Chains A and B, each alone.
Chain A
């Protein structure tokens, strides 16, 4: 009971604070849109095949915008001893992790939907590309990203380099997730059909389970030491 109460309290507090500040979501949306616009100018959609450009464009936007968002969120937690407040409490560290993971996932998904709406407009994407499988890759890729990102965002705040340290720590660990998400999204959008998509989906699910479990187990240690 107390586990869910703590997870719910952390989630609710993060969402309430973000609803008023709009710092994390603004960072994610602005950086994401900037990346998509850059891709639109670099790869003219009328002269390049969408399936070649869009998966890379979307995941570049999501990953880097997401890292910015995670950094903002972790920096806010460090201000005024927000993280220490969690540390001095007897709350289950796994419950704190779950609350943080869910709040980060919600920020990411909301930011991703807004960026996707613009990408749909600018790249002229239709129902042939935006299939349930497409959204499955986005959701699973995002879950893997926030599962690892929530832990490393907390770690990076304990280092001298803070925001600079987050991508250095995160990107190497995320590489299997990024690879599976980009490849899978490209296959879903491919005119030849989504052959081989299932294996990328399985890889994503497997890494999501591994990373979420590891995050759940190590978050307390990471916060304390």
Chain B
């Protein structure tokens, strides 16, 4: 199976401190990987490197079998990113936001795809409403629709469940499971294991910028992973 992500000794420094040190990671086509760890473990930094928003200070990163910082335009066209922020403009309507992102990604037949994305996100009826009137859950659904609009091969998600109510979490988890089933690769940074364990293949545990464990997602249940993380955070692992 083709590897969509190959990271070797990936490191990133901010000033004098290293946020990520010598991280090795491989993600295969159609595979879903959960990044877990305490706050400050390096999950968001790793995702920002995979999203090519930041450059690694050291190490090698290949995306879709190409050096990440050589064929950036081609690579970015195959990436979808849902970050902490929604990347949406509050003053615009849902449709206007998606049409803007369609233009940035040069999506062909954008009007039809925007309508389809809004319908898939369950926002067809609110397409003409400004995003400022949306709830957190609706914004997150729209943010996911934005990230999927250009049909990316690799979807990167940074804490996608944070701030969502249980119903919205279930909807999002089901949607992500469906995207994986379509053959998309996913890398999800999260604290909420219960939503990702049923469909993730592997869990990568990060602590203080380093990978401390890579295991099959189903090797533990949500409670087991929580205990494992607590042990890592307390330095008992």
Chain A interface residues (CB < 8 Å from chain B)? 2, 5-6, 8-9, 12-13, 16-17, 20-21, 79-82, 84-92, 224-225
**Contact across chains for A80 and B88 when beta carbons are under 8 A apart:** yes
Given contacts A80-B85, A80-B90, A84-B83, contact A6 B53 (CB under 8 A): no
Question: In the complex, what distance in Å separates the CA atom of A89 from the CA atom of B86?
Answer: 14
**Contact across chains for A80 and B73 when beta carbons are under 8 A apart:** no
**Contact across chains for B105 and A81 when beta carbons are under 8 A apart:** no
A-B contact pairs, 18 of them (CB 8 A): A2-B106, A6-B106, A9-B99, A13-B89, A17-B89, A17-B91, A81-B83, A81-B84, A81-B87, A85-B104, A86-B104, A88-B51, A88-B76, A89-B76, A89-B105, A90-B106, A92-B73, A225-B55
Give the number of chain B interface residues (Cβ < 8 Å).
Answer: 32
**Contact across chains for A5 and B106 when beta carbons are under 8 A apart:** yes
From A5, A82, A90, contact of B89 by CB (8 A): A82
**Contact across chains for A88 and B89 when beta carbons are under 8 A apart:** no
From A82, A86, A90, contact of B77 by CB (8 A): A90
B contact residues around A2 at 8 Å (CB): 106
A contact residues around B86 at 8 Å (CB): 80-81
Question: In the complex, what distance in Å separates the CA atom of A91 from the CA atom of B79?
Answer: 13
Interface of B is mostly: loop
**Contact across chains for A84 and B96 when beta carbons are under 8 A apart:** no
Chain B interface residues (CB < 8 Å from chain A)? 51-55, 72-77, 79, 81, 83-92, 96, 99-101, 103-106, 130
A contact residues around B85 at 8 Å (CB): 79-81, 84
Q: Which 3 A-B pairs have the closest CB atoms?
A: A81-B85, A9-B103, A85-B87
**Contact across chains for B106 and A21 when beta carbons are under 8 A apart:** no
B contact residues around A21 at 8 Å (CB): 91
| Max count, chain A CB within 10 A of own CB: residue among B74, B77, B86, B106 | B106
Question: In the complex, what distance in Å separates the CA atom of A16 from the CA atom of B93?
Answer: 10
Question: In the complex, what distance in Å separates the CA atom of A82 from the CA atom of B131?
Answer: 14
A4 to chain B, nearest CB (A): 10
B contact residues around A88 at 8 Å (CB): 51-53, 76, 79, 81, 87
Question: In the complex, what distance in Å separates the CA atom of A84 from the CA atom of B143?
Answer: 13
**Contact across chains for B91 and A224 when beta carbons are under 8 A apart:** no
From B53, B81, B87, B103, contact of A80 by CB (8 A): B87
B189 to chain A, nearest CB (A): 15
A contact residues around B52 at 8 Å (CB): 88
Chain A's closest residue to B52 (CB) is A88
